[in-house]
Structure 1
Amino acid sequence: MVSFRDERSAHRYDQDPSLSRGDVSTIRGRQRSGVVEQDRNLDTVDLRVPADPAYLAVVRTAAAGLGTRLDLTLDEIEDLRIAVDEACSLLLAGRAHPGRTLDAAFEVGLVGSQNLSVTISGPVAELPREASFSWSVLRALAGDVVTGTWQDGTWIKLSVPGRAEK
């Protein structure tokens, strides 16, 4: 499932509840009574792919495409791609999870508030120790990293400043 939300449109695709494994907007507490709240200063892109390392290229490519909107340099876009890939890898623990999904919510700041935050949720119940090499790479490449758990797994939120904030 892919959905785009901004000040021009706010829609959710109806889904079979038996197939749903959670919603990133629910994790972030942005959904109440089935109505998605809009932040008029953000464009949001939600991406849901099967929880399988084979689909990480789709999430990396989406991150790179949105990084260009912030006028990031090629090196900064590559850093963003690597950070998103590391976060996804941590959330998958290096293996496929049949029947589960990896959800990525990208919030891109509009003109005047150029930033990007990516919240990725995955099926692993517990993230590896933060002293691992993957965490070192992730923290070095992302501006801010926050983690948490929810009923169906864990999530990682990355915040990357855009050119206007540097």
Structure 2
Amino acid sequence: MRPDVELRLPVDPAFVSVLRATAVSLAARLNFTIDDIEDLRMAVSEASALVLPHAQADGDLVAGFHTAPDKVEVRISVPTSGTATPPAAEEDFAWQVLSALTTHAELQTGEGSYAAIFTVHSTATV
């Protein structure tokens, strides 16, 4: 399914701020609470911290955002060299934070790519 918003940025930690700003803007438009917006912003940071170390330097950091009235689903991916599997994320602090902030989080490895996929739900009542 095509994301509602997709960003393609250089593989560089300096551009994570663009992803965070996009996530905050989307969540604010969905009337997420301040706490939910902050959770999403931090989740984007942690997911980026998980995937960026495994990226090919000349590749693109791609972030797709799927929105619904009560949630944002995010996929952040980078190209990797070959089919190398990154180390177990469960031992990584960024993974611990990401899974604590989200209602669903997973890592996917594939032929030449590594992705963090997660969902943050709004706790706002209608």
Same fold per superposition (TM over 0.5): yes
**2:58 alignment partner AA:** G
Residue from 78, 89, 93 that aligns with 2:49: 89
Greater helix proportion:
2
**1:48 alignment partner AA:** R
Tell me the residue number matched to 1:162: 122
> Which has the higher Rg, Structure 1 or Structure 2?
1
SS at match of 2:57: coil
**Using the alignment, how far apart are the partners of 2:49 and 2:9 within structure 1?**
13
Tell me the residue number matched to 2:65: 106
**2:36 alignment partner AA:** E
Supply the RMSD in Å over aligned alpha carbons: 2.3
Taking a change above 3 Å as real, the CA distance of residues 105 and 164 of structure 1, as seen in their structure-2 partners, is same
Extract unaligned runs of 5+ from structure 2: none
* Residue 120 (structure 1) aligned with residue 80 (structure 2): no
Q: TM-score, normalised by structure 1?
A: 0.65
Tell me the residue number matched to 2:93: 133
**1:98 alignment partner AA:** A
Taking a change above 3 Å as real, the CA distance of residues 48 and 165 of structure 1, as seen in their structure-2 partners, is farther
Identical counterparts, % of pairs? 38
Q: TM-score, normalised by structure 2?
A: 0.84
How many residue pairs match? The answer is: 122
Q: Which structure has the higher relative contact order (CA within 8 Å, separation 6+)?
A: 2
Asked whether the equivalents of residues 55 and 78 of structure 2 are also in contact (C-alpha less than 8 Å), the reply is: no
Extract unaligned runs of 5+ from structure 1: 1-29, 31-35, 37-42
